[in-house]
Structure 1
Amino acid sequence: MNESRAARPIGNLPVLGSSFVGRQRELAEIRRQVEAARLVTLTGPGGVGKTRLAIQAAGLTRRAFPDGVWLVNLAAVDDPAQLADAIMATLGIPDQSAQPAFEQLARHLSQRCLLLVLDNCEHLLPACAELVDGLLRQASGLRVLATSRQPVELPDEHVHIVDPLPTPKPDSELPAEMLSRYESVTLLVDRATAVQPAFAVHDGNRDAVARLCAQLDGLPLAIELAATRLRSLSVEQVADRLDDRFRLLNRGSPAAMPRQRTLRALMDWSHELCSEQERQLWARLSVFPGDFDLNAAEATCAGSGLPRDVIVDRLDGLVAKSVISARPETPVARYQMLETIRQYGRELLTRGGLTRHVQRKHRDYYLRLASECCARWCGPDQNSLLATMRREHDNLMTALEWSLANDDESAALELVSALRYHWTLNYPAAGRRRLDQVLNQVRDASPLRGDALWVAAWVARIQGDTKASAMWRHECGEIADRFADEHLQAYVQLFAGSMALFTGDPFDAARSLAESLTLLREQQDMPMVLMALFLYGQALTMCGDSPAAQAACTEAIALAEERGEVWARGLATLARGFDLWKNGDPEGNAAELARQSLRFTPDANSASAVLSIELLAWIAGSRGEHDSAARLLGAAATQWQSQGVPIDSAFPLFAQSSNQCRVEALDALGQPRFSEHFDYGKAHPLEVLSGPGGIPAPPADEGAPLLTRREQEVAELIAKGCTNKAIAAELVLSPHTVGGHVERLFNKLGINTRAQVAAWLAQHQDQGPPASRTGS
């Protein structure tokens, strides 16, 4: 008897028809949950692999259940009243009593120790909740593992959200051998070789494989359906046709349940589970290209049968049904759709004739958001404003593209101008492309175009493209004169002074900047007053007028402190230190000012961060500490590399001092020793910045946030100048996962660029015991 039981486990778990790929950590976690809780529910979107995962996990727990592991497929049960009968039939319980089926089932289970796997509960949730609650009360040896689009919602239920498989980024350009680390790619290869034995990932198709898995969101069913197409199509062809994925992925296994045979059938089933208002919201949310928050959903989707005050509940319903995924752990919860679910929603929106209306509301919301961020810039919230614009980048770009596609030129100009701080501090390269795009498409002269022109001149200047910057500034001047627009005239003078300063004419720069300051003060344009004072102070330094330079910088610092502003304050503090160093620094205060500027950098300004490191190097060189200067130059080189703009292009005025410091250190140390120190600083910026001459750590009671072990790893690699792709390769994570870690890291530390990470770590890396950095 015992030999028979050992040879053939009790229960009815099926043997999976194809290999089970990946999810080892999830299997271990589900097994632990089944041991700890009597009801565990696997939730997730359709096609994510809940059933196969439940079967695999249940099989691993067999030894704990002497009376077996039993799978009950509820997909074909339409009548909630037949739920108990279906379970009895699966367990082989003869219905020979006049008692209700539930009582017979409860009596049978009361003396047994078994695991009941209830698969596909979503369409019977009230009945499932009532039955499972009753059985668990009467059968102490019973455990239930359920799969459902949404939780059963019983008090002691443990919910395990099943996510799609990890995917590489479409543009990750990872070597073919590294793609196999992603479970979505492994699944594709496994299923593809079943229909096309010669299929393999190689350098010729690696990009298409990555694109295919990413565009299918790592959804196992979609990947399996795509794999069947590789019998007659190349992986490039399949990836290219995913814009029409519901037509393409329409050939599943005949043995599968009807709603699992095609991608459209899967989505149709999810749609049927939703209420009418949830369906409307699903369709309208499809205009979001990525994640979004509740305010955006309410502003974009309310109206026409969907009042604003019900959206929070309907959104919660879509999250519960796994149509939308939620990240409630962030300060403001974020929501997102898988691309397949989004495309289905777009079809619904198009059929309802509301596409243009909802897209316009989406654009209007993000135009308002950008304008509000710009208006609030000169205050204490700069870091959060930059984080908001970074977080909403995809939505902002979609709003811009819609404006251009629908000939709403004024809105396009207004939006691209309102994002000036986003371009200059978050994404200069992307800003340059977008500004060029808008200015090339919208050519009519107007003050709105003038605003976009001076922003474009600013971004081009940051990139070191003086020719383009001069061209945009010149046209802005023509518009300013044509419309007698004093605001534009002030900006023209400001950027004329900036251009003169950085091309080596400080006297002309000082004249232009003084004129711009007069106009900007009259207009009470405080952000640009602060910028002009910083530039004016540098020009006066180069003119040899140190007292006036110190006065300009001191004024800028006072105005910034008054408003709680840190971006210009960091630059002005740096400029004060530069002026003192340039004039011999008789009292030795320049280094402290550079360190003060560095301490401001975690809040808003990567430019002052790297320039402050440079200034510390120059000061060390002036003192004859050439080994320290070489290490600091190396640390600065890492930051310039992470910003993607060399000092020669971004700040040629300062580049002269940097180059001189380098030459003097080379002469003093010799090439081998200089390279040794420089390379050390480049590879270990944290040690250099936290060492002598760097940034002193703040008092231990400042309450700096503790990083998890994974965040610490990511931060240290960022500080070394690694890209997300390089970090992903080093830590064996997807670039998408790394991107999430970076975003959370920035929010936790209160920083906005990669260049600031080294400065923060240098200040705080020794605070708190390593054991406090737990989690991943």
Structure 2
Amino acid sequence: MNLESGTKFGPYEILSSIGAGGMAEVYKALDTRLNRTVAIKVLHEQLWSDPQAKERFEREARTVAALNHSHICTLYDIGEQDGARYLVMEYLEGETLAERLRKDALPVNEALRIASDIADALEKAHQQGVVHGDLKPGNIMLTRFGPKLLDFSLTKPVQTSGVAAPDPMTTVSAESDRRILGTVEYLAPESLEGGDLDQSIDIWSFGCVLYEMLTGKSAFGQRTLSETIVHILKHDPDWELLPASTPLSIHALLRVCLAKDRNSRPNRMLGIARALEQPSVSGPKHNLPQRLNAFVGREQELSDMTSALAKHRLLTLTGPGGVGKTRLALEAAQKLLYDFPDGVWLVEFATVVEPQFVNQVVAAAMAVHEQPARPISETLFEYLENKSTLIILDNCEHLVESVAAIAEEILSRSRGTKIIATSRGSLSLPGERLWRVPSLSMPTHRFEDVPIQELHNYDAIRLFVHRARSVAPEFVLTPSNSSAILEICNRVDGIPLAIELAAARIKVLSPRQICERLSDRFLLLRTQSGTKEPRHQSLQAALDWSHDLLSGQEKQLFRQLGVFAGGWTLEAAEAICTSGGDLPVFEVLSFLTDKCLVQTKPFQDGMRFELTETIREYACEKLKRAGELAAVSNRHLMHFAHVAVQAELKLQGSEQQAVLEELAAEDDNFRAALTWGLQINPEVALEAANALSDYWRIRGRLVEAEGWLERAVKQEVSEQDQIMRARALCALGLIAIAQGKPSPATQFLEEALEKFRERNDEFGVARCLGNLALVALY
């Protein structure tokens, strides 16, 4: 619709047309009630009946209304007249940044001032949970009161259908049927690839705008749409175009804002605004190591970590060796570089042996020097007193007391300091937030076929493929190798170190060959890299590092826990394991849990404990080397045979459902116990198999029951245990009946009947006769 001058729109009188965009026309108007000039944005007439376009229009109104900021255009009113929806906004006199840049690049100081104001406005929006989504020079108005941020209509990606033809340079179709809306040359790589969008896309667009203000050239714009997209995904801007007077800190800021990997961009606009206000001759202060390879996945973990650090001053990352605590901490630190103006400092304790050197190592990491006749700790605390810093205390587990002491003192003396610690366990300090680092994400049903397009959604698979490509650039995930790669990631429990070491073997082995060799994973998963610490060069070394820090009692219990398959209860641990000292098993078990070697999960009214399969294999090897495997396995067999016998008595009563759940949780332990027992103690194995036969039958697991019972009855047993053999034969007969096999059923039952009669077991005789009667019905 085209509104003529003098047209009345409610209490507003149209004065003139300002311009039009893809969704709306904008007019200069007079508010006749307040006698002030306003801008009216009217939705295009062809979009009045489009629900998605109207929703975007209304969302813009709600969004801008919630943002009260001096550098965001103010919303005055919203309304509808004769079917036309409109917004009434602050009228701004001046020119857009796009119009200004058509003349020339801005002087460096002016560009930094405008960028600082826009960064402040975006920080306000992000605090309100709003992502602009279309930041570009055309949406920044330069006024005599400073820049104003316009057009929040693309605050999130929307599904579009039947919308009027858009400008081809402002809409890109993703591989799916979703369209990514925004001006292409300012879109982040993840926007083009159809990924989930967050405030990092605004940070990218901000970097594009700042680059353009300084150079007068588009950071990524090319002659055609396809060339522009390729440039965004594959190339960097021409950094040599930046003026010679651009501070080095701004060079560094632009590079991180325009990082292809959004995890490498700054976490918040607040730190960016600070860096723009006080540009320095160097970049942000830090001693973080240069990345040797890309960080893959973990987007949710990074988001959760930074959110936790916003609420807590001490965040301790825990987890077993190889799970990626250090790398995750460093990646979070990279994102937070601009949030801490006084620096982000990494303190590495892996090679520190003596606790008395902890203070010196922390001070040295921050370049704090000793002063004569004064403890280094006092010099350090004085240095940090009014600073805003982030300190990463890495690998604290072998120096817990000393590290905890200095961390507590730092936090009490420097209110602007925050700490990320990595450790196998807690520092046990007030206000500490423990955050257990999980293994990389994998499909829930691990060994089922997963469509190849879905595998790319899992971090474990993504990491394997990425690291494989680093040694074999032609490597790709295909339908023929996907199942092997999934099996590899499953068998190493999604542990990043193990996945990286496995992927490195792609140079000489196929995924299937790697899979076949994982039976000796500790031999296969190693490297001779000269850039990695010894504990990161093999899976064995990573676990040795954790094991060597355990006390004698902890080591003994840890290796004995390797006998369990599929987890255990506290009662089972107390019945089977010994701690070798004064401390009870439950207390030592809690220590191992704190040190992230043992995991817990709720079960019924209590807890179950478990080891990942990789750690369990390591513990089993320790158990063998200690010469304890036979004794512990015998106790394991006796305990679970007793569990089976006690459960059998309850299966026919009111507790049946709870008992079935308890038995199901121990399936792997029963199988392990039976396997051991059939070799070492067939009498006990026979008793356990008999006790479990009703459970297997109720669960419909007839083939498994048949297999165990047949193996059990073939074993040589003493004369006094022949009655147990007869029971097993009777159970086999009943299973054969259920399988519709009358001939084997008759054979089993008649042999059992003979043995029961020889021993005058009237109940056994009656049971066999009853079952033979069932056979006669066939």
Q: TM-score range by the shorter chain?
A: 0.5 to 0.7
Helix, strand or coil: the match of 2:418? strand
Cα distance between partner residues in 2 of 1:439 and 1:469: 17
Note if 1:92 corresponds to 2:329.
no
Note if 1:333 corresponds to 2:607.
yes
Helix, strand or coil: the match of 1:115? strand
Work out whether residues 457 and 472 of structure 1, in 8 Å CA contact, stay in contact via their aligned partners in 2.
yes
Note if 1:70 corresponds to 2:350.
no
Cα distance between partner residues in 2 of 1:494 and 1:275: 59
Counterpart of 1:724 in structure 2 is none
Counterpart of 2:521 in structure 1 is 245
Counterpart of 1:421 in structure 2 is 694
Residues 613-632 of structure 1: CA distance to partner in whole angstroms, max 9, x if unpaired? xxxxxxxxxxxxxxxxxxxx
Work out whether residues 116 and 144 of structure 1, in 8 Å CA contact, stay in contact via their aligned partners in 2.
yes
Helix, strand or coil: the match of 1:333? strand
Aligned pairs (5 A) from 1:251-400: 251-302=527-578, 305-306=580-581, 310-327=584-601, 331-400=605-674
| Structure 1 residues 83 and 443, CA gap change in structure 2 (3 angstroms) | closer
Deviates more, 1:85-94 or 1:491-500: 491-500
- Aligned identity (percent) is 35
Note if 1:232 corresponds to 2:508.
yes
Residues 453-472 of structure 1: CA distance to partner in whole angstroms, max 9, x if unpaired? 22233334444444544443
Note if 1:438 corresponds to 2:438.
no
Work out whether residues 651 and 660 of structure 2, in 8 Å CA contact, stay in contact via their aligned partners in 1.
no
Residue 219 of structure 1 deviates from its aligned partner by 0.9
Residues 283-316 of structure 1: CA distance to partner in whole angstroms, max 9, x if unpaired? 111111221111111111127x356x52112111
Aligned pairs (5 A) from 1:535-684: none
| Structure 1 residues 133 and 328, CA gap change in structure 2 (3 angstroms) | farther
Work out whether residues 280 and 306 of structure 1, in 8 Å CA contact, stay in contact via their aligned partners in 2.
no
Cα distance between partner residues in 2 of 1:329 and 1:483: 43
Among 1, 12, 26, the alignment partner of 2:301 is 26
Residue 133 of structure 1 deviates from its aligned partner by 0.8
Structure ranking higher in helix proportion: 1
Note if 1:173 corresponds to 2:449.
yes
Helix, strand or coil: the match of 1:116? strand
Among 177, 181, 206, the alignment partner of 2:482 is 206
Cα distance between partner residues in 2 of 1:67 and 1:110: 11
Among 402, 409, 430, the alignment partner of 2:682 is 409
Work out whether residues 62 and 69 of structure 1, in 8 Å CA contact, stay in contact via their aligned partners in 2.
yes
Residue 349 of structure 1 deviates from its aligned partner by 1.5
Deviates more, 1:49-58 or 1:443-452: 443-452
Counterpart of 2:311 in structure 1 is 36
Residue 170 of structure 1 deviates from its aligned partner by 6.0
Cα distance between partner residues in 2 of 1:72 and 1:410: 58
Residue 13 of structure 1 deviates from its aligned partner by 2.6
Residues 339-385 of structure 1: CA distance to partner in whole angstroms, max 9, x if unpaired? 22222222221122111111000010000000111123343322221
Note if 1:155 corresponds to 2:430.
yes
Note if 1:192 corresponds to 2:464.
no
Work out whether residues 648 and 695 of structure 2, in 8 Å CA contact, stay in contact via their aligned partners in 1.
no
Work out whether residues 423 and 459 of structure 1, in 8 Å CA contact, stay in contact via their aligned partners in 2.
no
Residue 232 of structure 1 deviates from its aligned partner by 1.1
Helix, strand or coil: the match of 1:28? helix
Cα distance between partner residues in 2 of 1:54 and 1:139: 21
Helix, strand or coil: the match of 2:286? coil
Residues 138-180 of structure 1: CA distance to partner in whole angstroms, max 9, x if unpaired? 1111110111111111121100001211345663233444433
Work out whether residues 413 and 448 of structure 1, in 8 Å CA contact, stay in contact via their aligned partners in 2.
yes
Cα distance between partner residues in 2 of 1:440 and 1:174: 41
Residue 279 of structure 1 deviates from its aligned partner by 0.9
Cα distance between partner residues in 2 of 1:25 and 1:201: 24
Moved over 6 A (4+): none
Residue 412 of structure 1 deviates from its aligned partner by 2.0
Deviates more, 1:283-292 or 1:444-453: 444-453
Counterpart of 2:356 in structure 1 is 81
Residues 588-611 of structure 1: CA distance to partner in whole angstroms, max 9, x if unpaired? xxxxxxxxxxxxxxxxxxxxxxxx
Residue 395 of structure 1 deviates from its aligned partner by 0.3
Helix, strand or coil: the match of 2:584? helix
Counterpart of 1:542 in structure 2 is none
Note if 1:142 corresponds to 2:417.
yes
Work out whether residues 412 and 438 of structure 1, in 8 Å CA contact, stay in contact via their aligned partners in 2.
no
Counterpart of 2:330 in structure 1 is 55
Root-mean-square deviation (Å): 2.3
Cα distance between partner residues in 2 of 1:396 and 1:237: 31
Note if 1:113 corresponds to 2:388.
yes
AA aligned to 1:298 is E
Work out whether residues 189 and 201 of structure 1, in 8 Å CA contact, stay in contact via their aligned partners in 2.
yes
Deviates more, 1:13-22 or 1:185-194: 13-22
Work out whether residues 286 and 343 of structure 1, in 8 Å CA contact, stay in contact via their aligned partners in 2.
yes
Structure ranking higher in strand proportion: 2
| Structure 1 residues 461 and 27, CA gap change in structure 2 (3 angstroms) | farther
Cα distance between partner residues in 2 of 1:121 and 1:253: 24
| Structure 1 residues 126 and 368, CA gap change in structure 2 (3 angstroms) | same
| Structure 1 residues 201 and 271, CA gap change in structure 2 (3 angstroms) | same
Cα distance between partner residues in 1 of 2:482 and 2:754: 50
Helix, strand or coil: the match of 1:172? coil
Cα distance between partner residues in 1 of 2:737 and 2:310: 62
AA aligned to 2:367 is G
| Structure 1 residues 421 and 15, CA gap change in structure 2 (3 angstroms) | farther
Work out whether residues 435 and 456 of structure 1, in 8 Å CA contact, stay in contact via their aligned partners in 2.
no
Deviates more, 1:486-495 or 1:467-476: 467-476
Counterpart of 1:126 in structure 2 is 401
AA aligned to 1:109 is L
Cα distance between partner residues in 1 of 2:603 and 2:336: 31
Deviates more, 1:265-274 or 1:359-368: 265-274
Cα distance between partner residues in 1 of 2:495 and 2:312: 28
- TM-score of the superposition, structure 2-length normalised? 0.61
Counterpart of 1:477 in structure 2 is 753
AA aligned to 2:756 is A
Helix, strand or coil: the match of 2:567? coil
AA aligned to 2:437 is V
Cα distance between partner residues in 1 of 2:702 and 2:547: 41
Counterpart of 1:548 in structure 2 is none
Work out whether residues 713 and 729 of structure 2, in 8 Å CA contact, stay in contact via their aligned partners in 1.
no
Listed as ranges, the gaps of 5+ residues in structure 1 are 504-776
Residue 193 of structure 1 deviates from its aligned partner by 1.6
Cα distance between partner residues in 1 of 2:474 and 2:751: 59
Deviates more, 1:10-19 or 1:385-394: 10-19
Cα distance between partner residues in 1 of 2:485 and 2:706: 28
Cα distance between partner residues in 2 of 1:426 and 1:153: 46
Residue 248 of structure 1 deviates from its aligned partner by 1.9
Work out whether residues 216 and 223 of structure 1, in 8 Å CA contact, stay in contact via their aligned partners in 2.
yes
Among 725, 733, 749, the alignment partner of 1:449 is 725
Helix, strand or coil: the match of 2:390? strand
Cα distance between partner residues in 1 of 2:344 and 2:774: 75
Listed as ranges, the gaps of 5+ residues in structure 2 are 1-108, 113-246, 253-282
Cα distance between partner residues in 2 of 1:141 and 1:433: 67
Work out whether residues 697 and 705 of structure 2, in 8 Å CA contact, stay in contact via their aligned partners in 1.
no
Helix, strand or coil: the match of 1:241? helix
Helix, strand or coil: the match of 2:507? coil
